[in-house]
Amino acid sequence: MKSEQLNFIPKDKLEHAAYYKGVCRNASIARWDAVDEVFWHWRTKFGSTFTESINHPEDDDGFDMFYPISKIEGHDIPMSMEVRK
């Protein structure tokens, strides 16, 4: 396990609709959805790009998880990430 994964932001400290830098297999930036309690990120697979949800480590279901490390302020969000669920 990477050291970043040990120091992730707990769910109760995340802000709804905020973007976070973090660690997971398929994303380094994701948006927190406090209603559904998942992160959303853009994923490209076999030439198609789509949104995909991913769990916070506190909701480990045996699949990949997003470990949020730091909140991204508005001016640092990549343009391709702005349109979300």
Mind listing the pLDDT tens digit for each residue in 9-63?
Answer: 999 999 999 999 999 988 899 999 999 999 999 888 888 888 999 999 999 988 8
Cβ contact 17:81 at 8 Å: no
**In the chain, how many domains are there?**
1
**In-domain check, residue 68:** yes
Q: What is the pLDDT of residue 3?
A: 53
Q: Write out the residue range of the structural domain in which residue 48 sits.
A: 3-76
Q: What is the pLDDT of residue 29?
A: 93
Ramachandran category for residue 37: left, alpha or beta (phi over 0 → left; psi -120 to 50 → alpha): left
**In-domain check, residue 10:** yes
**In-domain check, residue 84:** no
Instruction: Return d(Cα 7, Cα 65) in angstroms, integer.
Output: 14
**In-domain check, residue 81:** no
**In-domain check, residue 85:** no
